[in-house]
Amino acid sequence: MASGMGARIVAFPRTRAKYPRSSPRCLPTPLPDTNYSPPATRHSAPPIGALLAACVRVSGIIATMKPLLLFLVLLGGLAFAAPARAAAPAPGADRPNILFVYFDDLLPTFGAYGGQAITPNLDRLASEGMRFTNTQASAVSCNPSRISMLLGLRPSTTGITSLSPEHIDWRTFLANPSSPGYQHFGPGVSQIKTLYQHFRDQGYYVASAGKTFHSNEQLVVEPWDRLELWNFWPGIGWPQNTPLSGLTDYYSKVTIDADWGAIETAQNPNAGPPNYSEATLPDLETTNNGVSILNNVPTDRPFFVSVGFVLPHLPWYVPQRLLDRYPIDVVQTPPVIADDLADIPPEGVALVWQDGNYWDQRYLFDNPYEWKRAIAHSLAGATYADEQLGRLLAVLDQKGLAGNTIVVIWSDHGFHLGQKQHLQKHTLWEVSTRVPLIIKAPGVAAPGSTTTAVINSTDIFPTLVELAGLTMPTDFHRDGRSFAPLLADPAAYWPWAGTTALGRYNASVVDRASIRTRGWSYIRYNLRQPAANPQEELYFRAGDPNEWRNLLSPRNGNPADYRGVRLHLESILQGQMLPDAPPSAENATVTAWQGQDSPELSTAIPLLGSDPNQDYLAFRLTSLPAHGRLFYSPDGVRPGPEITQPGPVVPALAGWTAYVLYRPDAGAHTDALAFAVTDGISTAGATVSINVQPATLYHLSFPFIARQ
C-alpha cells in the first residue's frame, strides 16, 4: 500500500461465508481450562486423542455422553427390545418407536406444570417421563417454529422466520439463491432432510396424522409411509361462517376474525351454544386417523408416528361438556400489574396492539367476564386435546408398545391470555416463547423427573436421533444439540441458552429476537443496528418470572448496572441471529490517514470448546487503541468499517481479525487492546500488546483455540 496522507482503503463489499456447515469448525490445540471447574463427570472419560473426535463432540459433552451411549446400546437389546417381531427382523428393528404429539399454542400451564388446565393424560406422561420446564420455541408462530424443530435449524439460519416466508413451499424458498438458507449452506439445501426423512432413511416406518407441519401442502411433499391430512374445522368453517358471540358488533374496532367462535357474551347472552357437533371437530378426525395408524404399524421395523392437534389454537370451538368443567367463578386470570408496558420500548408495545390484524383483541381485558370466558375456552381446548392424546396412549397400552415407545409432547409456542394486555402470540415475552416439553423415554428418563435446563426446540431433532441410536444426517449442519444427557441425569451439565426469533411478514432476516438463560431474559427489537439506540428489555428471570421489571429502562434504576450481562446476552443473540453478518460490514468505505504494509500481530484466544457449533461464542472488545483507529476486517484480508466503541462483535468462523492504524503523531510507544471471549461456559480475557511505530497499519488476528 502506498504511504502518504489520505491514502484510501476501500473495503470490499461483504461476501457471505458460504462455508459447508456440515464440516465441524474444528480447532486443534487443547489448552488447560483455568476459568471453569467442571463437575467430576466431565473428566471421567479419557481425553480425546483424535482431532476428528474433538470436532464431533468436544470434551464436556463426550464425557457425559459416553456412558449414556453405552447405556442406550444395552437398552437396544433390553428395554427397547420389541415384542413379537417378525421372524427375521430388519436391521434396526430393535430400535425404539417414537410417538410425537404436537399441540398447537399449548401453554406449559396445565396440570403437570402446576396450572389450571385439566389434563390427566399429559400429567400421566409427565409422571412416566421427564418434564422440561425451560423449553424455548424457535419462533412464535406455527410455520417457522415447526419447520425449525423439524430441521434442527433456527429461523435465522434458514430465513423461514414467520408465516411468510415461507408459508407453504419452504423447499422452493430454500432453493432460491437469495434465501438465507441457500446463502448459508449453498446449493442443495432445498433437499435438506427433515426429522421424518432422516428416520425413514434409517429404516423407520414414518407416518403422520393432523397438523404437524403447518399446512397440508407442506405435509404432502414429505416421504411418508402413511399420511393422513388434517381438515380445518370441517363442518364448522372459520368463525365468520358461524358468528356466535356478538363481540364484533359490540366492539367496532374488532375484525371479524376476533369473533373466534364459541364465546357467549354477557352483552349478548342469547348468542346461544355453538352450532356444531362435537363429531365435526378436526382433532377428533385426527385422533381417529392416529389410532388407525398405530393399530396398523408394521412389526418388522420401528415406527415414527406424529400426530398434531389444533386445539387449543383458535378458534375455540370446544365441547360444552368441557366448558362446564371451568366455571367462570373458579377460572383464574394470570397475574398482571398496572403500567406493565410503561418500561417497554416502542417496538415491544407495538406488539401488544397489532392493529389491523386478526389478533387485535386487547379489548377483552376491559371486561373480567369476557376475560375469564376466553381463558375457560383455552383451558377447555387443552382438555379436549388431552382427551385425544389419551386415546393414542391407550393404543400403545393395548398393543403392548408402551414399554419400547418414546413419547414426545411438544407445542410450537405459547400464548398470551391477558399478560401485558395481549391475547394471542407473536411477541418475545416468555409467555409466548416458552413451551411444554415432556419426553417419556422408557429406561432412560426416570419417571416423574424434571429438569430446569434451558432447551431449544432445535435440540429435539438430535436428541431423538441419539435416543434411537442413530447418527445425525450428513447432509447439512444442524443448530440443535442433543439433550439426551439430561434425560439420563436432569442435573447434567448444561450451560446453554434458548433463543427465539420473531420474524416480520415476508422478511427472511431476523432483527427481533430473545434469549433466555435460567437466570435472565433479554429481548432485542433492532438487532441489526447494534450501535444505534437499541430497543431492548432485560429481566432477571429467576426473580421476575412474569417479566414485569425491565432492567434496561431508566424507570427501574440504572441500566448501566446490567451492562455486563446485557453485553453477554446481546453477543450470543447476534452470533445466532446474524450468523454471517458482521455489523456494518456491507458496502462500507473507510478512509485512513496513512498506511504501510502491516506487521502481523496475533493472539490466540482460548475457548473451552464444549460448544461444537461455536454459536454461543461471545466476543467482546473491551478497549480501543489509545492513539489509533481500529477497523473491522470483514474478509480477514483488508480493513473494513471503523469500530468506534467497545462492545460485542460477531466473530468470523474461527476468529476475528481487525486492523489498527496509529496516528502519525502518536510516537513510538506500547499500546494494548483488550478482548474478552466466552463460549457460554468460561470467559477468557485476551490482550495484545503492540509496539507502536507511527503511521503503521497493524493487522490483528485472533484465532479461537478450542480446549479439551
| Cα–Cα–Cα angle for 75, 76, 79, rounded to 5 degrees | 50
| Interatomic CA distance for residues 343 and 45, integer angstroms | 49
Strands 434-440 and 405-411 come out as antiparallel
Closer by beta carbon to Ca ion, 343 or else 347: 343
Looking up cell 392424546, which residue turns up? Answer: 389
Contact indicator for 82, 94 with CB cutoff of 8 Å: yes
Under the phi-then-psi rule, with left for phi > 0, alpha for psi from -120 to 50, and beta for the rest, what region is 237? left
Closer by beta carbon to Ca ion, 104 or else 580: 104
Contact indicator for 464, 195 with CB cutoff of 8 Å: yes
Closer by beta carbon to Ca ion, 104 or else 479: 104
Scanning residues 127 to 146, which ones bind Ca ion (CB under 5 A)?
142
33 binds Ca ion (CB under 5 A): no
As measured in angstroms, the least distance from the Cβ of 544 to Ca ion is 9
Task: Outline where DSSP puts E strands in 280-412.
Answer: 303-308, 405-411
| Cα–Cα–Cα angle for 73, 78, 84, rounded to 5 degrees | 120
Which residue in the set 283, 370, 412, 459 belongs to the binding site for Ca ion (CB under 5 A)? 412
Closer by beta carbon to Ca ion, 104 or else 128: 104
Window of 98-106, 174-182, 299-307, 401-409 that interacts with Ca ion by CB under 5 A = 98-106
Q: What is the 3-state secondary structure (H, E, C) of 453-522?
A: CCEEHHHHHHHHHHHCCCCCCCCCCCCCCCCHHHHHCCCCCCCCCEEEECCCCCCCCCCCEEEECCCEEE
Half-sphere exposure of residue 520, counting CA atoms within 13 Å on the CB side? 19
Contact indicator for 580, 650 with CB cutoff of 8 Å: no
283 binds Ca ion (CB under 5 A): no
As measured in angstroms, the least distance from the Cβ of 240 to Ca ion is 20
Contact indicator for 279, 71 with CB cutoff of 8 Å: no
As measured in angstroms, the least distance from the Cβ of 429 to Ca ion is 10
Q: Which of 647, 439, 430 is nearest to 519 (CA)?
A: 430
Which residue in the set 340, 386, 466, 537 belongs to the binding site for Ca ion (CB under 5 A)? 340
As measured in angstroms, the least distance from the Cβ of 260 to Ca ion is 14
Contact indicator for 553, 536 with CB cutoff of 8 Å: no
105 binds Ca ion (CB under 5 A): yes
Give me the residue whose beta carbon is nearest to Ca ion.
142
Annotate each residue in 369-388 with x if it binds Ca ion (CB under 5 A) or - if it does not, as one string.
Answer: --------------------
As measured in angstroms, the least distance from the Cβ of 393 to Ca ion is 22
Window of 180-188, 251-259, 541-549, 640-648 that interacts with Ca ion by CB under 5 A = 541-549
As measured in angstroms, the least distance from the Cβ of 549 to Ca ion is 6
Annotate each residue in 580-619 with x if it binds Ca ion (CB under 5 A) or - if it does not, as one string.
Answer: ----------------------------------------
Closer by beta carbon to Ca ion, 537 or else 679: 537
As measured in angstroms, the least distance from the Cβ of 415 to Ca ion is 8
Contact indicator for 274, 248 with CB cutoff of 8 Å: no
As measured in angstroms, the least distance from the Cβ of 135 to Ca ion is 14
Q: Which of 408, 468, 440, 395 is nearest to 100 (CA)?
A: 408
As measured in angstroms, the least distance from the Cβ of 232 to Ca ion is 13
228 binds Ca ion (CB under 5 A): no
537 binds Ca ion (CB under 5 A): no
343 binds Ca ion (CB under 5 A): yes
Window of 40-48, 325-333, 411-419, 516-524 that interacts with Ca ion by CB under 5 A = 411-419
104 binds Ca ion (CB under 5 A): yes
| Cα–Cα–Cα angle for 590, 591, 596, rounded to 5 degrees | 115
Binding residues for Ca ion, per CB under 5 A?
Answer: 104-105, 142, 340, 343, 412, 548
